[in-house]
Structure 1
Amino acid sequence: KTKFTINGLPTGSKILVRVKAVNAAGESEPKYHPQPILLSLCPEPPKIRLPRHLKQTYTRRVGETVNLVIPFQGKPRAKVSWQKNGSPIDKNEINIRNTENDTIIFIRKAERGHSGEYDMKVEVENLVDKATIDIQIVDRPGPPEIVTIEDVWGENVNLSWKPPKDDGNAAITGYTIQKADKKSMVKITFEPKKMIEGVAYEVRVFAVNAIGMSKPISCQRSSDEKFHLNFPGKVYKYPVYDDFDFSERPLFTQPLVNTFAVAGYNATLNCSVRGNPKPKITWMKNKVLIMNDPRYRMFSNQGVCTLEIRKPSPYDGGTYTCRAVNELGEAEVDCKLEVRVPN
């Protein structure tokens, strides 16, 4: 034979090789390989193993600790680099530690300024893999702007205000109103009950997001901050309103969205619908009605329709349709579901 494999050689070293021919009379003079041979690893392409919870927006409150570990693979040792919103990361504010198998982002006390898109790049020779993490640091909102008493009549008061300038980096979900008797100053959250005529009240309004309530702001009036119900000499005549017809055919206010699922992990499809009378909701896969199939669970709560697919396989991929029907009409929305098998 004129071929031979040398096994068990140390990686990273250089070796010299020579070959001799042998016959019954003995060995020949050696023939040398012209150059030393460098032993190196075959490169392994880089691949970032982004955890599932980081594939969506990662949310933390102001003051909380951010500690994210992102594993990856690649040989020889991969080069890892980070950017925030397209610019290099300030290492005085954000600590990053890299090892052969993972990278760690650490923020001891998160601030609003730490929010943004963090771009990760792993390089092995000329091969590159990238991933993006969206970090959102949220806080309580600021107070509403300029709460004003528009009118007072009988046992009623009409208030108005502007949304806060600062929403705390999270959507405003509503407002809380409190009233207090100016004598006792006992604060009570507003309820749909009649207030006492002739009594002075103070009213405060809070903005609310997913984190909590803002600081309050008090009502303002041209004369002073309090108001009296049923001012002397003012007679209020209640208007007469016609009954409003609330009937409405089904209308989807939030459609289904094309979704990717991982085989073996539960997947959910969500949409929102309104209508009066309350629509009847049905689900279909590839235009075939889903009925009494234990792999599916269907929910409908306050107009939000959900289809849960238990541990899907590639067979469960296809087009899913949500249909809403009442006596005034019907409506449909659909989306595509693709089930991927993890590597």
Structure 2
Amino acid sequence: MADHQRLVIDEAGENDAGRYSCVAENVPGRDEKDIVVSLLRPPKMRNDRLQVEVAQNEAQTLTCPIDDRSVQIQWFKDELPVRSNSRVQILNSGRTLHIMNADSSDSASYSCLAKNEAGDDTAYFDLLVLVKPEITGLHPRTIDSISNQTVPIHCRTTGIPPPSIEWYFSDKRIDPSEKYEIVENGTVLRIHNIQSDEAGRYSCVARNKIGEAQTDVFIEVTEAPTFIGAVNEIKIIEGTEKTIRCDVKGKPYPTVTWRKNGEPVGYGLISRGGENLIHIVKARVEDAGRYTCIAMNRGGERRHNMQVHVLVPPKIADGDRVLKAVEGNLLVLECPANGIPPPEITWLKNGNKLNVTGSSLSLPNLSVADDTKYTCEARNEAGSASADYVVDVLIKPRIRDVGTEIRVVEGEKARLECKADGNPPPTVQWLRGAVNEIKIIEGTEKTIRCDVKGKPYPTVTWRKNGEPVGYGLISRG
């Protein structure tokens, strides 16, 4: 402007601030006006984002970091203007934002905008409302399991920050192992091959920086039936008594039933104090068979088979104990022994064991040496029996040391001797002339002689009971 009516300050700085006077003069007089020049600066705040944490239901105040009271301040939440309400208040000419009873919805990015005629600046706050852990699901609270199975326990949680999870069994911390598997960020505990002694209280504990939560689950382990000291084979001697046991364990205690050869057993059953028995008073052969013990509970059904054998002591059937046979013939001794199991047979001759097996003893070509006592012994697991046999070897008569011709002086005494041996001892009969009676043992052979003489030699014929004989005739010399 002409005549210096304008003062221009380029790039005003702190030194340019102050009182300026404008003086106007002319001939008639003079006038003066003071002008105060103030330096306006744009607002300036820190550049870093402030991380702020507050616990749920607690109060939190955010302060805009500027001291200049001349600036205008406005608050934003996630870039939207903040307005005061019953829980959120803007105080101190907008310098502070006060949040009461903070909840998770208050977690956001907050900013305060400070501005004046010279410019503006913004400060940022990241507010995180911390929430104590809460276990929203532990399903189920009571678990029925079966021994040897894998049991999973689920523990769903909430919280800010997300809580860490630990598992406990009867207040003892569980660490991952082959037995315990912890997966899905700790929210699932798997118990492998669970056993009855692992039943009890399991705890899920969730923790973060402002608190913790705990919930318990109780596991009951159903132990499937198992047999204790089971045997596969039982032997009973006929006529004796025997108790067949079926000792089982399980949780809950199993119900026990019996079957014999697939059919229900209705006799001799005893159940007492966890013992399950079949009592056989006097065992019979019919009591033998396959006995099945069936144990059942919620964990399942188990079966155990026991083969019962009734042993019968040997018995040797009655029969002839004195056997007669002719010398030179074959004699077979039979020992009809029965028993369960079939007995083994031993033969003895005069108490001395013979190298013979089986129920028959053959004596070929009988001789005097075979004329003695034989013993059959039958043995099995149930006992023994024996029978004695007397062999009587029949020996046909033999006349020995007899001369065929004796000379005697007429008128003197003559003595004839007939020394005969045989079994049974032969009867000696003296005949003069023809033999009138002949005895033959059944089954043996005999020659009937008819010695004749005459000149010329006679013709000989034979008759039996008056009828001609047409067999066995021998004529010689």
TM-score, normalising length from structure 2?
0.32
The structure with the larger Rg is 2
TM-score, normalising length from structure 1?
0.42
